[in-house]
Amino acid sequence: MISFTIKNVMIAVDNDYATVDVQIVDGAIAAISPNLQVIGTAIDGKNKLLLPGFFNAHTHSSEMWQRGIMSVFPLELWLAELYDFAPLDTEKVYLSALGTAVETLLSGGTSVVDHLVLIPGLELETIAIATRAYREVGIRAFIAPLIQDESLSAGMPSGESAQSHEPYFRSTAATLEIIEEAVRQFHRPDEGVSILVAPTGIQLCTDALFKGCIELSDRYNLCRHSHLLETKAQEKLAQEKYGCTAVEHLKRIGFLSDRTTLAHCVWLNDADIAILAETQSTVVHNPLSNLRLGSGIAPILKYRQAGVNVTFGCDGASSNDSQDLLEAIKIGSILHNVTDSDYQHWITPRQAIEMASLGGAKGFNLADKLGSLTVGKQADLVLYDLTNLSLLPRTDPIGLLVLGRPSNVVDSAWVNGKQIVADGKVTTINVDDLRQELFNRSQWETKRKSETVAQIEAHYRIVMGL
């Protein structure tokens, strides 16, 4: 039974702040009010702000091994380079999951959604080791094994040419069997680890794979996760493949639902947006990778106006190249001001905070349990130190947090009531050892030459009219 009481802490109320005590009993929020009795440990909340933990609602942890070095390329060429140099051992997967968890936590996230790249032939081992890493750190983990059943070259529109693609190395049925086995072994929502069905996207998946995922989702009550229309090339491809938009197709086959989260959503038209609203699907906005890869600016203000739920992700560290969630929230808020001259539609800092917390909880079917400071909800909480230089002078704490560039501001974090950050440091693992391991297993290098890029670049430029 974990119980503690945070004394004299600022929380957000309506358009103001209040200073209160917050009682946590047995991992849940038991009371929020001034002058509460201390139950369990007393935590000093003075000059601190308490917020619900945020969701890093889309990332690929093992991309951390290639951050900083990927060429300045659009997604299709970038992917080819990424896979030419992807790491292939589970120890690296373990370390990068730890690193992703730590960076997410220290920027306000208490949940991470890892669209996890699986090592071919070691699929369950990859899931096992990532699960172990997240359990060790104690962050809430949504592990979304990244699956496909078409080879990488199928992900590019063929244009005028007749392209044929090598078959994918593993059958659709075998892939679905791996996911079902992962659910049996690792899906423990009450312990903070959930497995999602997560086809990579329409560009590399057959309908059979999508339908198999839907069936597993229904049978085991799993959330669904996928990339959706990240690039203009994918919009073209959907038309070639289905003769309609990707969203229309996904609706038709039944993939969209109130527990479906869709990463990117850059190239949707108004009818597509209406479908997302109608199906209560959630958009995961990854503003930084959308810029870095030149994918485009997702129409987030339109989503909000249409009533589509939106939350934020860092995306994998090869396309961002950080896992700082506060950075994603800042840029994911202010970026859209240039897309609509009417400032009354712009995202305010308080709205951004709600998107990052309750928006994530909704997307993963947990709005009744997470995402706000509400009595009865589980204690996934973050306490921010408001005396840090980056949050001074004192003005509006949430404005400073969202629109500033806070660093070293997370004082404490709890997941399900368990404290995993204290005094600004992760308490569950040794971060210095992690740094040493990451250092030892890597080397400084300059740009590399990707053979696959050399093979496909000319075709890409033709198809995209470059």
Show contacts with a copy of itself in window 260-319 (CB under 8 A).
288, 290-297, 317
403 binds a copy of itself (CB under 8 A): yes
Check: CB of residue 416 under 8 Å from CB of residue 61.
Answer: no
The one segment of 26-34, 269-277, 364-372, 437-445 that binds a copy of itself by CB under 8 A: 437-445
Q: Does 390 sit near a copy of itself (CB under 8 A)?
A: yes
**Cβ at position 43, least distance to a copy of itself in Å:** 20
Torsion of CA 289, 295, 296, 300, to 10 degrees: -60
Which residue lies nearer to a copy of itself by CB, 317 or 370?
317
Candidates 132, 187, 232, 459; binder of a copy of itself (CB under 8 A) is 232
Contact call for residue 3 and a copy of itself (CB under 8 A)? no
Using the rule CB under 8 A, which residue among 1, 164, 243, 439 binds a copy of itself? Answer: 439
Query: Which residue lies nearer to a copy of itself by CB, 62 or 357?
Result: 62
User: Nearer to a copy of itself by C-beta: 24 or 314?
Assistant: 314
175, two tokens: 């892939």
423 near a copy of itself (CB under 8 A):
no
CB 463, min distance to a copy of itself, A? 12
Contact yes or no for 204/154 (Cβ under 8 A):
yes
| Using rule CB under 8 A, residue 444 touches a copy of itself | yes
Collapsing DSSP to helix, strand or coil, 269 comes out as coil
Q: Which residues does 97 contact at the CB level (< 8 Å), separation at least 6?
A: 61, 62, 114, 129, 130, 133, 134
* Helix, strand and coil in the chain, % to nearest 5: 40, 20, 35
| Nearer to a copy of itself (CB atom), residue 313 or residue 363 | 313
Asked whether position 399 contacts a copy of itself by CB under 8 A, the answer is yes
Does 397 bind a copy of itself (CB under 8 A)? Our answer is: yes
Tokens 């009531």, located at residue: 417
Q: Decide: 201 and 231 in contact? Cβ < 8 Å.
A: no
* Rounded least distance, CB 368 to a copy of itself, Å: 29
Cis, peptide link before residue 16, omega less than 30° from 0: no
Side chain identity at 358, as an amino acid letter?
L
Cβ atoms of 237 and 203 closer than 8 Å: yes
Among 3, 8, 17, 459, binds a copy of itself (CB under 8 A): 17
Which two tokens mark 356?
């990052």
Q: How far apart are CA 360 and CA 343, in angstroms?
A: 25
For a copy of itself, give the closer residue by CB, 208 or 438: 438
Spell out, one character per residue from 356 to 375, where the chain touches a copy of itself: x when CB under 8 A holds, - when not.
--------------------
Instruction: Tell me the C-alpha distance between 27 and 43, whole Å.
Output: 15
In DSSP terms, which residues pair with 12 in a beta bridge?
17
Q: Which of 88, 173, 392, 462 binds a copy of itself (CB under 8 A)?
A: 392
110/107 Cα distance (integer angstroms): 9
Residue 68 near a copy of itself by CB under 8 A: yes
Enumerate residues 107-126 that contact a copy of itself by CB under 8 A: none
State CA 159 to chain mean position distance. 32
Q: Which member of 21, 81, 230, 327 binds a copy of itself (CB under 8 A)?
A: 327
Q: Mark the segment that binds a copy of itself (CB under 8 A) among 134-142, 245-253, 304-312, 439-447.
A: 439-447
Q: Which residue in 4, 54, 55, 73 binds a copy of itself (CB under 8 A)?
A: 73
Pairing of strands 193-195, 140-146: parallel
Smaller CB separation from a copy of itself, 21 or 150:
21
Judged by CB, which is closer to a copy of itself: 64, or 204? 64
How far is Cα of residue 410 from the mean position of the Cα atoms in its chain?
19
Q: Which is nearer to a copy of itself, 188 or 405 (CB)?
A: 405
Query: 213 or 463, CB closer to a copy of itself?
Result: 463
Judge contact between 30 and 23, C-beta under 8 A.
yes
Site membership for a copy of itself, residue 434 (CB under 8 A): yes
First to last CA, the chain: 61
415: which 2 tokens? 């997941």
CB-nearer residue toward a copy of itself: 15 or 164: 15
